Amino acid sequence: MTGILKIAYKLLVNNKGKFAALLIGITFAVFLMIQMTSMFAGMMRKASATVTNTGAKVWVMDKAVTSVASSIPMSAQADAVHAAFDAVHLTHINYQSGIATYLQLLIADEQYHQATLAYVQAQAQRLQDTVALYVALGGGWWSVQR
């Protein structure tokens, strides 16, 4: 093993210019890694400033919320609306080609409107729950002392 290490050492330091360029390159790479790490830490500190600077002893949020800026995903309702819209579109094509009846088209259209209504009701309920949470925690825009 010592013979291989001697050969590696001679190949590494034999050409002084290449060795200096290698050291400069490694130093620059380490500098960039340290800089990116510090930038990431600064961004994380800035992103969490809303939570840390509120002064609240308890921070309450839904399990589905992944960050302060995100909201509760309502993908199931949105998927139902998209699926119902696609069903209306396909039923309309089938109606125009004579495969589906007008009643089938009306039923598909009704299901689309019911899915849209359920999505809007879910959004309204989420917003009402948010207001109820603020009120339950003693907050609200009306409690500001003037």
Structurally, the chain folds into a number of domains equal to: 2
In tens, the pLDDT along 91-141 reads 999 999 999 999 999 999 999 999 999 899 888 888 887 777 777 777 655
Residue span of the structural domain in which 91 resides: 75-143
Does residue 124 sit within a domain?
yes
* Residue 103 host element (H or E): helix 102-136
- Residues 85 and 135 placed together within one structural domain of the fold: yes
Does residue 67 sit within a domain?
no
Does residue 61 sit within a domain?
no
* Mean pLDDT estimate for the chain: 82
- Average pLDDT on 78-98 reads 92
Using alpha carbons only, give the angle 22, 25, 28 rounded to the nearest 5 degrees. Answer: 150
- Say how far apart CA 114 and CA 88 lie, in whole Å: 12
Does residue 120 sit within a domain?
yes
Does residue 57 sit within a domain?
no
- Residues 79 and 139 placed together within one structural domain of the fold: yes
Does residue 58 sit within a domain?
no
In tens, the pLDDT along 45-63 reads 887 776 677 666 666 666 6
